[in-house]
Structure 1
């Protein structure tokens, strides 16, 4: 079992490839579809995601895995083909979000803990049978006045580790996602301090829960200035701070690091990832696991209309290719001007 986990984890960070996060909850996808004037029906959600998954150029060349929502894992395309089969036919690995969302943390105003451990063993077994081969669990850590608390950091780290152990027990590679949020006026130095504390706590708990690190991926935030910080750090400073923080906290045994975009613009997320790979050597591959930063152009290009599918898929393939270049440290602003392959 351990060997299969390692094989899957390494396949998910194959050179030049990254992960598409298409695991938006029903409420989140409703907002995304509303932004283009489309009602969030099951059919609309199916059509949108099918458009992405049938972008064979993007999936076969640049996307190693797709994180799905429960509905999508069980869903069939318009022609009756299961979504997981469409994904797998491109040589891409299906995965599944298994947490049930971040809820207010009792006794800690303004902070949250991610729930979903109850019944997780049974869900993981079922998800494996449905074709998933990896999982994702997201914890959110806010920076603010007196935040984060030690309680918040350690409660979320413990939950992430328990989740990871249960996922591996079922033969699923766990993506461990402790996200330090960008929201606020904090400096990049404050983000570094919090991210370092969070990652240290997470790996302490993963060790305590006997998680096999070689069969895991880390999905962290980049070390960034807060969205309201008046003096925001540049690309090379972000790359330096992020890689330094990871080297201080993440064991070399981890199979790979796939960053979340966390509210960055499409090009910001790509530029930061490329700078890390171009300027720094690391013990693990550094790649991407983006949601909105991969999907936004395709979503607006699609607009809910069948006649726009081809152009939307081209936009998606272009964004995937840009991030593939970034995963090799070869992205450039000039490449953004090229048409999708």
Structure 2
């Protein structure tokens, strides 16, 4: 593990950029960027276009380590290059931004009010390649929709089981049990989720380090104890579908909870913007999310 990167993730002001839309969510990300589905025919063309979008974001002067401390990549992005360097190396060496890899394969069908992760049958290979590509950590997402005790326990059990394999591979997992912002039982879900996470954190070995990515809670500072736990490097928040301004305002109410936003970071970017307009738009989003992350 890179000690400098660990110190940055633990202590630096800023937020994590989530640039990890996968095969299922890439068409939405491209459409939001102004590239509809009729402009490409194959998955390869789609991934070429989204890599161009991500390259434009990452190489922008607005994307810098003064405000962005980490970035989460999709597997295709990790395996591609920016200016002759693998994306993770470009982020670390040229931008001073810590690279993470999304390792889940999407969500299983809903059961007991939750969606577990689909099996990650190539996990060992992914972790090996992540190490070869100088990736610092991983991210793995499941979703909670109802305050179902068994479902929430199953989600957290699975997250920490995968997380332990990541830790054993020398990487830092971002454990992400998202609570659906539209759940009518959102607050109750968060109470059950917090209790389950605390149990698992308390059973970790002293040197096992994890990060946690959670929906911005209904009750401000709900996750204070998780943020302060000795095994937790950082707790970060997903935007969960909230518009940028809403996400930022809710985030500001939570001390030491920092953003790991995807849509809220990129929603106003467009392929047709001049570089000047693109960089200015990205800069405004970066600054607003940064300001919300340093409360």
1:167 equivalent in structure 2: 166
Corresponding residue SS for 1:66: strand
TM-score normalised by L of structure 2: 0.87
Q: Distance in 2 between matches of 1:209 and 1:121?
A: 21
- Structure 2 portions without partners, runs of 5+: 41-45
The correspondence of residues 1-341 of structure 1 with structure 2, limited to 5 A, is 4=2, 8-35=5-32, 36-38=34-36, 39=39, 41-77=46-82, 79-88=83-92, 89-105=94-110, 108=111, 111-143=114-146, 148-184=147-183, 186=184, 190-208=185-203, 210=205, 212=207, 215-224=209-218, 241-243=219-221, 245-247=222-224, 252-253=229-230, 254-277=232-255, 285-298=256-269, 302-303=270-271, 305=272, 308-329=274-295
Corresponding residue SS for 1:58: coil
Deviation of 1:67 (Å): 0.2
Deviation of 1:321 (Å): 1.2
Q: Distance in 2 between matches of 1:263 and 1:191?
A: 14
- Structure 1 portions without partners, runs of 5+: 225-240, 278-284, 330-341
Which is helix-richer, 1 or 2?
Answer: 1
1:236 equivalent in structure 2: none
Deviation of 1:33 (Å): 1.2
Larger radius of gyration: 1
Deviation of 1:312 (Å): 1.4
Q: Distance in 2 between matches of 1:272 and 1:153?
A: 24
Q: Distance in 1 between matches of 2:24 and 2:217?
A: 28
1:336 equivalent in structure 2: none
Q: Distance in 2 between matches of 1:276 and 1:110?
A: 27
Deviation of 1:249 (Å): 5.7
Deviation of 1:133 (Å): 0.6
Deviation of 1:202 (Å): 2.5
Corresponding residue SS for 2:282: helix
Contact 2:9–2:233, Cα closer than 8 Å, also in 1? no
Contact 1:258–1:289, Cα closer than 8 Å, also in 2? yes
What does the per-residue CA deviation read over 1:8-39, in whole Å, with 9 as the maximum and x for residues that have no partner?
44412444311000010122111221242343
Residue correspondences, number: 285
TM-score normalised by L of structure 1: 0.76
1:228 equivalent in structure 2: none
Which is strand-richer, 1 or 2?
Answer: 2
